Structure 1
Amino acid sequence: MMVHQTNQLLHLQYDIPAYLLFVFFATLCSYNFHWYLTPDMPSETLRIGWTQRNKSLHLALFIIGFIGAGWFFIHFIRHWFWLMGSVVLTFLYSAPKLQFPPFHHLKKVAIGKTIFLAFVWMYVTTFLPIAIDDQHWGLPAALLCIHRFFLIYAICIIFDYRDRLYDRQQGIRSMITHFSEAGVNAIFLVSLLIFALSTAWFCYLLKTGWLYFAALLIPGILTALLYPYAKKNFSDYLFYFVLDGLMMLSALLMLLLPPR
C-alpha cells in the first residue's frame, strides 16, 4: 500500500507488479531473519512469546523470502546500485543480533537504531520506486520522502519506548534509551512537526487539494493522539495492528478519493 501510494502521488511509471513482489519477498526475508536471530528472553507480550516458540517457521519463511527477493532483484538488475542500498541497510539493521565479530559490536554503537529503521522503510517504499522510475526527481519527491520518513520515525519512537528496558539490558543503544522521557517527547514532537510541514509543502507544490492533504495528515494526528496511551499500554494489538497500520492509513484513505 505504501509503495502504491508513492506511485499514485508522483505518477511513477515502471514495472510496478514486479516491484511489489520484490518488496513482499524482501520484507518476508528481512522480517523473519531479524526475529530468527532474536535471542530467547522473558517477555510480557504474546507476540514475542510466539516468536520464540516458532524459530523454525521464521527460518523457513526467511529462506522463501530470500529466494523470492533474489529472483526479483535479478529482474531489476540494471538498478542494482539503488537495490543494493536497500539490501545493505536492511542487513545492517539486524546485523547486531549476529553473535560473532564484528557484528555483535554494532549494538554498542548503533545510537541511531530508530532513525535507521525508519530510513529503511522510507527507502524501500518511497525513494527506491522514485529511483527506479528515474523520471520524477525534484523537490516534490524529496518532500514525499521527508513526509514518509518522519511519520514512520514518530511511530518507531513509540515502539522503541516500549522496548527501552529490554534494549538497555541487552546493551543496545538508541536515542530512546539515551535520552530522558522529556527528551524523547521533544524528539517525537519535532518529528511530527517536520512531518506536518513537509506534508503541507508537498500538497501545495502538487496542488493536491484539501482532501489529499487531510488524508496524508490524518495518520500523524492519530499518532500524536495515541502517544500518551501507547506509552502505558503495550498491547500487541495496539502496536502491531493500530500503530503499524497507521503507516499505510493514508494510502487506504486515498483509495476512497477521486484520482488526481
Structure 2
Amino acid sequence: MHLSSDQPSARSAYASVRRCTDAVLYSSGLVAAAAMALTWATFLFWHVHIPLHLAAMIFSATLFLYNLDSVLPYKYTEQQVLSTRKLWMLHHRRQLLLLALLSLGVAGVLFLRDGWTHLTGFLGHLAAISLFYSLPVVKRQGQWRGLRDVPLLKAFLIAYVWSAVTVWVPALYLGKPVGSAVVMLLFARRFFFILAIAVVFDIRDYTKDRLGGTRTFPVLLGVKWAKLLALAALALAAVFVPEGLSAVHIVVLTLPLLLTAILVWFAEESRPDYYFSILADGIMVIQFIAVYLTF
C-alpha cells in the first residue's frame, strides 16, 4: 500500500518539474540567461563584474526578442508536424506575448535610465537585424521573407548579433574602442563559437527549413558537412586567444569549445528537444563558468 500510494505522488512531482522546466526553456529563459552570462564573461576578462542593471537589460531584451519571434505565425505553419517545443509555444502564445511586452518595457526603462541613448544607432542596427530576422523585409521568389531566409545568412546573423551584444556592449560600457585589437579578438572568438552553436540549431530545424525554403548550411551542404563546418568554426575560435593568458587559462577556456565540438558531432534532428534547449543553450553558460573560474 505504501509503494502504490507513493507512485501517484512521484508522478505528480515529476510532472510538476517537467512543466517548470518546459516553461523556463521554451519561454527562452535559459537563452536570456546565456546572453547575460556571455556578456558577464566579457566583463570578467577585464576583471570587472557586470553591473546589475546592465545584466537585467541584456536579459530582458533577449527575452523580448526571442518570445516575440516565438509567437509569429510562421513558427506554426511551415512544418507538417509540430515538435513538443512548438506545441508548448502554440498553447502558451498569449503568455509568451505578454512576457515579451513586459520584457520590452523593462529593457526600455533600463535603456533610458542608464543613458544609452547616444548609442541608439549602434544598438538600433542590432535590434533591426533581430526584428527583421523573421519579419518580412526581403522579397524572394515572389514572397516577402525575413532575413533568415536569405541563403546561408541565418547562422551568420545569429553569430553577429550575439557577438556584438556580448562583446561590444561591455567594451562600450567600459570605454574601450570596439575596433581595438583585443576587442576584435574577443569578438572573433565569440563569433565563431556562436556560429558553431547556430549550426547545431540548424541541424535541429533541418526538415522545417528544407520544407520552408530556408537554405541553411545543413540544407545546402548536408548535415555531415554542416557539422564539419561547425567544427572548423570552433577550431578558429580556439585560435583567437588574447595575449598574456597563462597555459592554465588557455586550457580552461578551451574546455567549453571541446564540449561544444562533442555537442556538434552528436547533433541529429531526431534528438529530443531537451538536447538542444538544455545542452546547446547551456553550453554558453558553461563558457561563462569557465571564464568565471579562470579570471
TM-score, normalised with respect to structure 2: 0.76
Match of 1:249 in 2: 286
Q: How does 1:19-38 map to 2 (within 5 A)?
A: 19-37=54-72, 38=75
1:95 aligned counterpart, secondary structure: coil
The answer as to 2:166 corresponding to 1:125 is yes
1:94 aligned counterpart, secondary structure: coil
Q: In 2, distance between residues paired with 1:21 and 1:11?
A: 20
1:112 and 1:175 in contact (8 A); partners too: no
**Is 34-43 or 138-147 further displaced after alignment?**
34-43
For 1:84-113, what per-residue CA distance to the aligned partner results, in whole angstroms no more than 9, with x for missing partners? 122112112222499xx9853645435310
Q: Counterpart of 2:58 in structure 1: which amino acid?
A: V
Q: CA deviation at 1:254?
A: 3.1
Q: 1:62 to 1:81 in 2, by over 3 A?
A: same
The answer as to 2:41 corresponding to 1:5 is yes
Q: In 2, distance between residues paired with 1:228 and 1:106?
A: 27
Query: Which consecutive unaligned segments of at least 5 residues does structure 1 have?
Result: none
For 1:28-64, what per-residue CA distance to the aligned partner results, in whole angstroms no more than 9, with x for missing partners? 1101100000224444632221011111011101111
CA RMSD after TM alignment = 2.5
Query: Which consecutive unaligned segments of at least 5 residues does structure 2 have?
Result: 1-36
1:215 and 1:250 in contact (8 A); partners too: no
Give the alignment partner of residue 266 of structure 2, picking from 208, 229, 241. Answer: 229
Q: CA deviation at 1:240?
A: 1.0
Q: In 1, distance between residues paired with 2:258 and 2:197?
A: 12
Q: 1:105 to 1:78 in 2, by over 3 A?
A: closer
Match of 1:143 in 2: 185
The answer as to 2:256 corresponding to 1:219 is yes
Q: In 1, distance between residues paired with 2:280 and 2:231?
A: 16
Mark the structure with the bigger radius of gyration.
Answer: 2
Q: In 1, distance between residues paired with 2:209 and 2:285?
A: 27
Q: Counterpart of 1:81 in structure 2: which amino acid?
A: G
1:39 aligned counterpart, secondary structure: helix
1:12 and 1:136 in contact (8 A); partners too: no
Q: 1:178 to 1:57 in 2, by over 3 A?
A: same
TM-score, normalised with respect to structure 1: 0.86
Q: Counterpart of 1:239 in structure 2: which amino acid?
A: F
Q: In 1, distance between residues paired with 2:290 and 2:211?
A: 40
Q: In 2, distance between residues paired with 1:251 and 1:145?
A: 15
Give the alignment partner of residue 179 of structure 1, picking from 211, 221, 225. Answer: 221
Q: Counterpart of 1:94 in structure 2: which amino acid?
A: S
Match of 2:5 in 1: none
Match of 1:112 in 2: 153
Q: 1:233 to 1:166 in 2, by over 3 A?
A: closer
Q: 1:111 to 1:254 in 2, by over 3 A?
A: closer
- Percent identity over paired residues: 25
